[in-house]
A and B are shown apart, each in its own frame.
Chain A
Amino acid sequence: MTKIRLLLAKDLRTLLRSPVLLTALVLYPIIFAALVGLVFRYANDRPRVAFVDLDHLPDTLTVGAQHFDVPRVISEVQGSVELVPLSEREADDQLASGAISAEIVVPRGFASKLRGMVESPRLILKTARGGLSGRVEQQTQALVYALNRRLQDAYIKANLEYVKLILQGGHGTFLGNDFDVVGLDRAAAMLDEIRRTSNDPTVAARAGELATFVRQARLALGASGDSLRATANPIELQIDKNAGRTWLLSAQIQAYALGLTLAFICVLLAAAALAAERDENVVGRLARGLVRLRELVAVKIALAALVAVALGFTIALLFGVLAEAAGVKGGEPWGRLPLLLVGLAVAGAAFGAFGTLVGAISRESRTAVLVGFLAALPLVLLGLVPEGAAGAAWWAGRAFPFSHAVSFFQAALYEGDPWGKLAREGAWLLGLALVFAAAARAGMRRLLA
């Protein structure tokens, strides 16, 4: 143990004497966090969708008694997609070339059907296959939902005008036909008058029954306004955008920033540090009984774990301070730090063990750094494959510490009941660390050759 401590102290001293490497170690996580943030942001960015207006919608559209400023309504509801007005041919060409993700076509007769309020007009959505089509479909549904929400108010108002006409009577228009309606109020008064003035008791009794029915109908129709609104929106969604963290401070960003930073730094550091023992011709000296080869592997793994804890702790502090300064709610940046530190150490060790394997195989540090980078990059990407998307790729990703580390960090920082996940992912990380370390130890003979 003393020899491991001695060599570890030597490695740390060497590290501190490399200003370029130190600067890279400090800048790397910051750059990674920013890049991860940008990727997340643009992953949620609005796709470009063509807007093909075959019906030549007027600037002002009257539905029921309401007037709509069409360009304004469209600009207000296109939060989920970027609508680009195009002709049908241009839109088809751009969809074929991939310049746009989809096209929304307003067919001829759309406005007249909308004004008629009898038949639902249709919008046509054209998308490409695969890629973003699923997302575009969802976002177009969101767009149509937003349009419907605005139109349903007009529909409800128009229907309530008819209800009012039935209640109060007067002049009305429907499907282009003009008509006069007596109205329930007047009908009730007329029936009361018949009941009072009729000499025929049978007629008076029937007029009384009808007057009672008319009053009941008035009561029922009087409540139809609320009922119509409730039917149109059985469940309303209230959006509170200030309830959680901003995207930059989200749990996912922090966990991925930590995972990516460690995946590269720990792998490259351990790989280069082990191979450097051969570059400096020292491994032979050490192998003469001074240090056992497995101890040398352990030193490099411990170095990676230590650096992981130091860097991860700094990143967590940075996120925590930003969260406090911005006054955002959610998460437990301070109370969960001890759990995070455990995860950083275990994940750093697992990445470091993989790095020692790379270092042992590569034999010299420049090759080790290159091979470490080339190996870590696809393995990290495999770790981003969601479960069920591609079975073999997902399982390959599970054989590298990245996905387990990210999952551990998310659980450690933000989950209410993290223990099950922490135990499972911690066991994965430890298991991978042991397997990689054993393989690195077996490969150490190459360093001595």
Chain B
Amino acid sequence: MSARGVARRYGRIAALAPTNLDIRAGDAIALIGPNGAGKSTLLSILAGALEPSTGSISSGRNGAGPRVGWVPQSPAHYARLSPRENLELFARLEVVPDPSERAERLLRLLDLPDDGRLSAQLSAGNQQRLNLAIALLAGPEVLLLDEPTASLDPRQRRRLWEVAADVRERGGAVVFATQNLEEVDRFATRVVVLLDGALVFDGSLEEFRRAPEADVFA
């Protein structure tokens, strides 16, 4: 999956300058940068949730495109539906075979409550896990995570990274935006640094450790 010259403007404000990014099978790309650097904008464009002002996203598979799972920073589900209802609805919209079975499996995998409570009544951590579950419905080949561990407890963080590792093991890739350099050290194979909407670094974890951009939060 490749982004070629993608940029996004909001009126006069450039949220993302023209950016190139290639995502390859097995990648675990950490997208880092301070607040407002353009990380969420780039992930939204890669997810297809936001149209770029210029540039395009292309696929290496003759335009068929990989299945993309997207976990936005804020929970993106229907507050007045239960987690199961949310999962079944999005599974049907994704045209997943046997949506009920898929929902059941993800409820168990991510240990989500299934007691009829509405999603709005869940804790922030559970809402974030529901967010992840929805992203996993279609069996994504590219998983895009926007600061996914912010409201998760250590056990749930571990579970999240296990899921991400599983996607990579199946030949997929993971791109995650984070401000946590420890997560970068532990889970990234590649690092992309954004500053003021511009991509200023794209290299391996080792290259990043040696690069001046490593102290991006300093």
Contact = CB atoms under 8 A, between A and B. Distances in A.
Contacts of A285: 49, 70, 72, 76, 90, 134
A13 B81 CA distance: 8
A7 B81 CA distance: 12
B75 interface: yes
Interface string B185-218: 0000000000000000000000000000000000
A58 interface: no
Place the interface of chain B in its size category.
20 to 34
B72 A287 contact: no
A280 B127 CA distance: 12
B68 interface: yes
A281 interface: yes
A448 B50 contact: yes
A3 B90 CA distance: 10
Contacts of B49: 284-285, 287-288, 448
B165 interface: no
Interface in B50-94: 50-51, 68, 70, 72, 74-81, 85, 89-90, 92-94
A281 B49 CA distance: 11
A6 interface: yes
B118 A17 contact: yes
Contacts of A290: 90, 93-94
A6 B77 contact: no
A335 interface: no
Interface residues of A, number: 23
A282 B77 contact: yes
B76 A282 contact: yes
A281 B146 CA distance: 13
A282 B70 contact: no
A445 B118 CA distance: 29
Contact of B89 (A10, A284, A288, A445): A10
B92 A6 contact: yes
Given A6-B89, A290-B94, A280 B78 contact: yes
B79 A280 contact: yes
A410 B93 CA distance: 41
B20 interface: no
Contact of A14 (B74, B78, B93, B94): B78
Contacts of B48: 287-289
A422 B75 CA distance: 47
A3 B77 CA distance: 16
A329 to B, nearest CB: 47
Interface in A244-303: 280-282, 284-291
A173 interface: no
A18 interface: yes
Contacts of A291: 93
Interface in B26-66: 44, 47-51
A284 B79 CA distance: 15
Interface of A: 2-3, 6-7, 10, 13-14, 17-18, 280-282, 284-291, 445, 448-449
Instruction: Sort A-B residue pairs by CB-CB distance and give the 9 closest, nearest first.
Output: A284-B49, A281-B76, A288-B48, A290-B93, A14-B80, A281-B74, A17-B80, A285-B76, A288-B49
Given A17-B80, A286-B93, A287-B48, 10 more contacts: A14-B81, A281-B75, A282-B78, A284-B47, A284-B49, A288-B47, A288-B48, A288-B68, A288-B70, A289-B48
